[in-house]
Structure 1
């Protein structure tokens, strides 16, 4: 396989994974897969949460494509597609688990407009603790925070987490 096609497949896969991740997050994780994802919308009590099983589930196609392309004689493009899926997973882990949720301690403070926007969008997503009424399902792209805040207001505040110290049943 020509190297330009290989790199093109890799880059297209990484970009395409954002659309796939959006769809899975919006219609599976906040739908029938809520039984696993709900743990991610609650305070974590240990190092792991049920939602972490999604990382294992989403790694399977990458592993199979990499093995197929490298070991089992499949079309060489499978290797590059599998590598693109793995790269997106690594980017997701770095952004979502390390930077946003601080599952590994660090002192990084976002300074770029992009990082501020994406982190604020993810925090607005977590302002809702139910599977309904949430906003911003992407991981590497997000609408402007003003649009997300307006969408939360328009949702009738359904499922919005009460500020710390307030009684949500009041």
Structure 2
């Protein structure tokens, strides 16, 4: 039971970590070089942004190894990171960005909210003024729309298009 709780706690901590990394590193000057590819249209199977997943996979692999040899708790933390990575892949890469061989757009429930929240994240060009940085938790869509309107970025982009 304790190991299960470690995995669940790690998944929750990973969502907070992913939010923070996404908000302040990927959308900051340090990480935008990789993440920018995720905000641009392309027809490639992979994008430079996928390197972030590789970084987390390396960290999890190291934790699996160290946990197996010296500190078993680290093995369970690595498992939680891996579970989070699978959830991320299904929800973000699959559901939101349709990086799987079939198309499914959710019409109701939490999956729709998650889908809409992340689409609103991509409604802004560039790295500034984006909303919704989590991958499992999605704030209410109405609040995100309000935040985008309050920032003025949508009005400015609409004016640039005309």
Counterpart in the other structure of 1:17: 14
- Equivalenced residue count is 161
Whether the 8 Å contact between 1:129 and 1:159 is mirrored in structure 2 is: no
What CA distance in whole angstroms lies between the structure 2 residues aligned with 1:80 and 1:152?
Answer: 39
Whether the 8 Å contact between 1:22 and 1:138 is mirrored in structure 2 is: yes
TM-score, structure 1 length as denominator?
A: 0.88
The higher radius of gyration belongs to 1
Whether the 8 Å contact between 2:131 and 2:148 is mirrored in structure 1 is: yes
- How big is the shift at 1:110? 1.7
**2:90 alignment partner, one of 87, 94, 102:** 94
**2:56 alignment partner, one of 55, 58, 62:** 58
- How big is the shift at 1:105? 2.0
Gaps (5+ residues) in structure 1? none
What CA distance in whole angstroms lies between the structure 2 residues aligned with 1:69 and 1:16?
Answer: 18
**1:139 alignment partner, one of 124, 135, 138:** 135
Matches within 5 A, 1:65-144: 65-70=63-68, 73-144=69-140
- How big is the shift at 1:112? 4.2
Secondary structure in 2 aligned to 1:37? helix
* Structure with greater helix percent: 2
